[in-house]
Structure 1
Amino acid sequence: MGPWSLPGVVQLMTGCMRVQHTVSAEDTHLLFREPGVLTGFRPQNKPWAFYLFSVVQIHNESVNIWSHLLGFCTILCIMYRYLTVYISADNSHWFVILAFGLCCLIYTAISTFAHTFHSKSALIHYTCFQLDYLGIGYFSLGMAIVTFHCSCHRHFYSMLEHYLLPVNVLLSWVGFLCSSVAKLRYHRPYPFQRKLWNVCSFGFQALVAFGLVITRYWDCYLDMNCSLSSLNHHTSVFMVATISIFFFSSHFPERFLPGKFDIVGQGHQIFHVLCIVGTLLEFKAAYIDLQTYVDNFDREIVQPDTTSMFSAMVVYGMLSLITVVLLNPFTKRRVQQDIRNTRKCQ
């Protein structure tokens, strides 16, 4: 009876759907450990189906998987809702919403995949998170696209329209590359410098995107007929982004209460949830600005270039995938170093 015969598949599914056991940090390779997390780790070197079916099991990655899996579904629904409005209204900005939505779907899908399968082996772990950083770069690129075309200060359009996409494709790739190199360079327990590589690389691109909006606060402050509360939809995005960076970089609260947040409540889990909240708030901010801000512009000035946006997304994806392939020898070398270091410790 072959493994892919009907009885074999049924046996495999039955076995994988049983309650899967988890292991403690002491029984887990150092590579897979997290500060302050003591239990709930999935064992390594199991079949692919084991990790696929772990999606419906309880372990310390469950919240990370489901937060972005549900986020993917929510973003898909929100995207459909907004696209229906703009396409029916013959609004040329529908492709901006589509581009941002696709970038968000890519980052949530890749994140779900990475957190589902990274525990299989060291090589899979490194490769999964390189792809995860690729997804974050897509989100950063989508954020720049939607901010520029929907929320950018009007005086920046003519100045930046020819430079925005090339610069942000480069920034997204640099952020992806810095995060991937930092993952390969630093060993567990990771020093804070590794977080700086992540935060500073993608954080700089976020500051560039937010800089397109920030001058609107000054204009509103000078305008007696404008209330700063009219920019609350952007303020909420800034606040959620700042709080999410804190939880991403601090490992709070599990670092200070080890073992208490092994399954639910880890800083990275909170970061995941805040990422989805921030994404939905950005959709809302774009919608509000398209109704109340962009409509006051000269339509010829803000006409989106759909070909350039699509090309930028494809170029970034191809460039990053090629980089993953080029990094593969370094990844394998790092895996061998981890194996040697483990043997020395034993």
Structure 2
Amino acid sequence: MTTAILECLSTLSVSAQQLRRLPKLLEGGLPKMPSTVKDAEVPRLFREPYIQTGYRPTDQNWKYYFLSLFQKHNESVNVWTHLVVALAVLLRFRAFAESGEFSLETFSLPLVIYVLSSLTYLTCSILAHLLQSKSELAHYTFYFMDYVGVCTYQYGSALAHYYYSSNQEWYNVAWPFFLPGAAFLGWSSCVGCCYAKYRYRRPYPIMRKLCQVIPAGLAYVLDISPVIHRIVTCHMDSCMDKAFWFHCLQIVFFVIGAYFFSCPVPEKYFPGSCDIVGHGHQIFHLFLGMCTLSQLEGVLVDYKARRDTFTKRYSSEYTHMFAISFFGLILSSTMSAVYLQRKIKKQLAEKDA
């Protein structure tokens, strides 16, 4: 009996020693994350107006930037807002598909493209904000990717509004030019944003913002026009329709988000106080995410309610053609972004030579 007790105590002693060594073992096994730094410690390209702290150091290994998903820095909220929205879009569409309302046919093709475009822009945004601090070339590359994602989402939204949310009166006037115009303006939006990023250096002139906002603004006005027409001309029965209110919300959320995208508030009035949480771009992300979720709900309601309208208006060949044009837009926008990325790469190589 005494021997058994002694063996037990010996085992407990060994276990206690192992537990004491556990923190050191864990510390050695997990990567040490560099601390964030102040604005003066990163190149000017990475600095944001009125954001003074919370920058990740450049030229670390890729693993650090991926793991910085779990670190507190001035891009954390930007990454997590769109990550949460992407998961919400994926889960909502999965629930909708499993409910029996969804079917694999031509009628569903614009909806699938719209969901795919939403996930594309959210994923590109997540990667841009998570990985852009690696180097100057990575900064340009991932933001160019982000702009491709945005134009993809613009055209996906245009397709969904055109097929599911438009009234007949709007369709009779707009059908010849709406989708070609949406594709062209989506591409213009991508090129305008990429060119502005390529052409202008900090402190940015007003022309940079104009190159970004004007093409994107025109694309939005055209893409949302079926919904605007529906809201302006609604009758009592259609105004009580559930989708109507989701479409109203998506516009309200987008307009609020666009304001915070265009103006560096509230950090302009509280420099250094909104570095980690609360600066304008984070608020823009939050409202853009709510806009996407409201838009998704409105489109899903219209999808269920407007099958007869879809069948009367659109042939399968017509729908397949514009589905293919979606991938053509992605290709042309990507090629434009790659062209400017190579010019940037050449400039950076010459600067370092």
Question: Does the alignment reach a TM-score above 0.5?
Answer: yes
Matched, 1:64 2:78: yes
Partner secondary structure for residue 297 of structure 1: helix
Pairwise CA distance, 1:296: 6.1
Q: Is 1:214 the counterpart of 2:225 in the alignment?
A: no
Q: Which residue matches 1:244?
A: 257
Query: Does 2:186 align with 1:177?
Result: no
Residue 309 of structure 2 is matched in structure 1 by: 297
CA drift of 1:321 comes to 1.9
1:84 aligns with 2:98: yes
Which one of the candidate residues 106, 109, 130 is aligned to 1:95? 109
Q: How many Å apart are 1:63 and its aligned residue?
A: 0.8
Aligned equivalents of 1:244, 1:318: Cα separation in 2 = 28
Pair 64,14 (structure 1): closer, same or farther in 2 beyond 3 Å? farther
Q: C-alpha displacement at 1:162, in angstroms?
A: 5.0
Please say which structure displays the higher CA radius of gyration.
2
- Following the alignment from structure 2 to structure 1, what is the Cα–Cα distance between the partners of residues 289 and 87? 11
Which among 314, 317, 342 is matched to residue 327 of structure 2?
314
Alignment RMSD:
2.6
Aligned partner of 2:340 in structure 1 is 327
Q: Do the aligned partners of residues 192 and 339 (structure 1) sit closer, same or farther apart at CA in structure 2, a change above 3 Å counting?
A: farther
User: Partner letter of residue 341 of structure 2?
Assistant: N
Q: Could you tell me which residue of structure 1 aligns to residue 34 of structure 2?
A: 20
Structure 2 equivalent of residue 73 of structure 1: 87
Are positions 1:275 and 2:282 aligned together? no
Return the offset for 1:91: 7.2
SS in 2 for 1:255: coil
What is the CA distance between 1:172 and its match in structure 2?
1.1
What residue is the counterpart of 1:192 in the other structure? 206
Shift in CA distance, 31/338, structure 1 to aligned 2, threshold 3 Å: farther
Measure, in 2, the Cα distance between the counterparts of 1:48 and 1:335.
Answer: 20
Q: Distance in 2 between matches of 1:314 and 1:269?
A: 30
Query: Which one of the candidate residues 151, 157, 160 is aligned to 1:146?
Result: 160
Is the 1:248–1:268 Cα contact (8 Å) retained in structure 2? yes
Per-residue CA deviation, residues 104-149 of structure 1 (Å, 9 max, x unaligned), is 1111111111111110111110111011000000110111011111
Q: 1:45 to 1:309 in 2, by over 3 A?
A: same
Distance 1:88 1:37 in 2: 45
In 2, the alpha carbon distance for the partners of 1:320 and 1:89 equals 30
Separation (CA, whole Å) in 2 of partners of 1:148 and 1:12: 55
Aligned pair count? 326
- Taking the TM superposition and a 5 Å limit, the aligned residue runs for 1:44-59 are 44-59=58-73
Distance in 2, matches of 1:147 and 1:116, equals: 31
1:237 aligned partner, one-letter code: Q
Match of 2:179 among 138, 146, 165: 165
- Secondary structure of 2:133's partner? coil
SS at match of 1:176: helix
- CA apart distance, 1:284: 1.1
Query: Given the superposition, is the C-alpha separation of residues 303 and 79 from structure 1 closer, same or farther in structure 2, using an over 3 Å criterion?
Result: farther
| Alignment check: 8 A CA contact 2:107 2:310 kept | no
Q: What is the aligned partner in structure 2 of residue 5 from structure 1?
A: none
Question: Counterpart in 2 of 1:343?
Answer: none
| Structure 2 residue matching 1:264: 3-state secondary structure | coil
Query: What's the offset of the Cα at 1:161?
Result: 4.1
TM-score, normalised relative to structure 1: 0.86
**In structure 2, distance between residues paired with 1:285 and 1:31:** 39
